[in-house]
Structure 1
Amino acid sequence: MHEEDTTALLKLVLAGGAVAPRRGLLDTHVTPAACLAAGASAWRAAGLNNVQIQRIRQPDTAEMQRALDWLEQPRHHLVGWHDPDYPPLLRRISSPPLVLFVDGEPSLLWHAGVAVVGSRSPTSGGRDNAYAFARALAASGTAVISGLAAGIDAAAHQAALAEADGVTIAVLGTGPDLAYPAHHTNLRERIAARGAVVSEHPPGTPARPAHFPSRNRILAGLALGTLVVEATERSGALITARQAADNGREVFAVPGSIHNPMARGCHRLIREGAGLVDNAQEVLAAIAPLANELAHALRSRLEGALIRPHIGCDDRLAPLPPNYQPLWQALGHDPTGMDSLIERTGLTAAELSSMLLVMELDGRVAVEHGRYARKTWFLSSTASLAQAEGQ
């Protein structure tokens, strides 16, 4: 990213407030520098309020310098909404972050992964289960994604690091330079050296209660599925699981004793439709279809292929396979949510997620706030529409 764009993007980050208007600016003006050059009238038209506009004009100089200094260090990166390296699965959640501050390897955010979450105060058995599941996932080549919290999170990260080629990603509710709890500082460093530490918050941002529920949406959004190992009925892990389900991802839960209060959240998820699993192979089998499509996306990105065609492009695509036709017919001019698509097509959330990712990467489908529609250029091009429907 050019220095001018980095500075402009940081100004947009430090403006704070609602994220959607700032994403909209980037959608309209393509680069961060162009967003700032557009001026206050364009900012207001995008929905920014007076406080945000003032902060863009006069950002906190100490925060700005702290972020710039952090980005100058080795392995530190800033991935913005406009960036083709922005993780494709994360684009599809209902409220994707404007940016990701990454300490480590950003390409790992495209790696097929499973979120492993649960109680901060697990039983010994729960901790052992988390470690066993995470190590088996890592051994299979699947990234283990968690939140660096005490308990289940820490066990999952440690298990992935125990594998010689294990990949693990930590999603933080603080800035990317801080560990919470503080005694996980060494664990944070090990993860950054081997995998990636990710945050939507600028360096130096302390732990705040509101940041952790919002952190969970990123955790779930990066993963192909979420595994809850142990959780009470009021656990933050259940929030992560529900966010995963809302975004059409698989949710799994490990059952436990009816006498264990730490198992009640898992049992509740199972009653609500989560997959009951007792080994990692069951998880891997369920996420395989979407993992294959993510691998296709990564190959395309590494080969320099365009994976987000601009509206108005005139590419001719091959006809969709017959099994995609019910989904194509279920999509229309207006954005449609996952629940409606499930009802219209009779397909499962996992099947739809895989197929929608293919169609999104082909440029046939647009996604915004977790809702899907045919791309504008497809609707305006008779030839392309006929091809897409196999006519």
Structure 2
Amino acid sequence: MATPSVRDWLALSCIAGLGPVRALRLARSLGGATAALSALGREATLLPEFRLRQADEARRWADGELARAAAGGMTFVCWDDEGYPPLLREIHDPPLVLWLRGDAACLARPAVAVVGSRAASDYGRRVARELGRELVRRGLVVVSGLALGIDAEAHRGALAAGGVTVGVLGCGLDVVYPPIHGSLYQELAISGAVLSEYPPDTSPEPFRFPARNRIVSGLSLGTVVVEAGQRSGALITARLALEQGREVFAVPGRIDSHKSSGTHRLLQDGAKLVQSVDDICEEIGWRTQASAPRTEAVPAPAASAVGDEEQRLLDILADRACEVDELVRTSGLDAATVGGALLRLELAGRIRQVGRGYERVG
């Protein structure tokens, strides 16, 4: 049964005119979603159009959605849950609630986003499929948006290699979009996860996809744009990744192909050139041997093979547990670097998560 905290996070997420940034700022300053809802009802200056009765209405709506979710095989991850994806928590505007079908634990694993054009060429589809396959073979999760073209091929490549892949929707979890991807949706829900910040019955309107893209990049250590024209939505994902302090990669295409004009512009602007999956792994500092299918353990660096960033964090954690924010401040590293290093250390068994922070093992 869902706790009052889960219900109140869900209720807070549905209040019109608030938005995730203001809602989260309010919840953090007051001590949680329950306190934020109560404050909205008391203090007219916080959200002038909000009335106390709306808090009760929002909670009733949340109770109904919780019941629907349980009946439909959906679960929730709220911002203050230990299972909330650590990299996603670090972005400017993380979703308050993630609706989920599949394995929530895979959201904490190191991931790379693979995105690109819906109207992809044969070359683009082949490259996306190969990248999806090779990334999971190295123990990484592949994140994409379940769209036609590049997204779908990246998911399929990961699945074909027996790996874990996550699809992020721009609609409710009960809406399969595009409809042709019904079987792909089911495969992702079984082998990895399908998630959305939107409640069931939310239609796939165009304005929702840029918001979806911030989650795709926010879950990932880096974003690879395989093929994109000048106006492709994949370029939005690349821009968001850059704003989030994550790595941006681009795959070159033919110089006379309009389908690659956007990726070529990214390369001109400083995106990392991808000629093989090794280029990605080297840039994000992912040091593993090629991995077996997902039924086997995810390979991790040997205990002695610790990089400079990891060692810096281990030194800080030598005497006490620390939250991520404190590790960022103390280490002098950016949030993306700290997040990646923490994931590698956790997979290697050198640290473990405790509450909102981490402690050293042994």
Could you say whether these structures have the same fold, taking a TM-score greater than 0.5 normalized by the shorter chain as the test?
yes
Partner AA of 1:12 in structure 2:
L
The correspondence for 1:215, drawn from 197, 212, 216, is: 212
CA 1:209–1:307 in 2, change beyond 3 Å: closer, same or farther? farther
In 2: Cα distance, 1:280 partner to 1:145 partner: 15
Aligned to 1:274: 271
The whole-number CA distance in structure 1 between the counterparts of 2:140 and 2:341 is 24
2:13 pairs with 1:13: yes
- Work out whether residues 115 and 219 of structure 1, in 8 Å CA contact, stay in contact via their aligned partners in 2: yes
Q: Distance in 2 between matches of 1:52 and 1:117?
A: 42
**Aligned pairs for 1:191-270 within 5 A:** 191-270=188-267
Under a length normalisation based on structure 1, what TM-score does the superposition of the two structures give? 0.72
- Tell me the CA shift for residue 62 of structure 1: 6.5
Partner of 2:349: none
Which of the two has greater helix per residue? 1
* Pairwise CA distance, 1:271: 0.1
1:307 Cα shift? 5.2
Unaligned residue ranges in structure 1 (runs of 5+): 300-304, 312-316, 328-350, 362-391
Match of 2:78 in 1: 80
Deviation at 1:32, TM superposition (A): 3.1
SS at match of 1:23: helix
Amino acid across the alignment from 1:6: V
Q: Contact 2:75 / 2:99 at 8 angstroms: preserved in 1?
A: yes
Unaligned runs of 5+ in 2: 289-305, 315-319, 344-362
Equivalent pairs, count: 316
1:167 aligns with 2:164: yes
- Assess, with a 3 A threshold, how the Cα gap between structure 1 residues 89 and 257 changes in structure 2: closer, same or farther: same
1:329-355 CA-partner distances (Å, limit 9, x unpaired):
xxxxxxxxxxxxxxxxxxxxxx63455
Native 8 Å contact 1:67 1:202 kept in 2: no
Residue type of the alignment partner of 1:11: A
Q: Secondary structure at the match of 2:323?
A: coil
The answer to whether the Cα contact below 8 Å between 1:290 and 1:353 also exists between their aligned partners in 2 is: no
Percent of residue pairs identical: 38
Over the residues paired in the alignment, what is the CA RMSD in angstroms?
A: 3.3
Q: Which amino acid aligns with 1:260?
A: S
Where does residue 50 of structure 1 map in the other structure? 49
1:252-282 Cα distance to aligned partner (Å, 9 max, x none): 1110111111111110000000011111111
Contact 2:9 2:96 in 1 (8 A): no
What are the superposed Cα offsets for residues 136-171 of structure 1, whole Å, 9 maximum, x if unpaired?
Answer: 00111110000000000000111111122x010011
Letter in 1 for 2:22: P
> Any conservation in 2 of the 1:15–1:53 contact (CA below 8 Å)?
no
Deviation by residue 1:36-68 (Cα, 9 ceiling, x = unmatched): 4456125x46x3342476542323967752443
Q: Structure 1 CA distance, aligned partners of 2:88 and 2:54? A: 27
DSSP-derived class of the 2:143 partner: strand
Q: Which amino acid aligns with 2:15?
A: A
> What one-letter code is carried by the residue in structure 1 that aligns with 2:7?
T
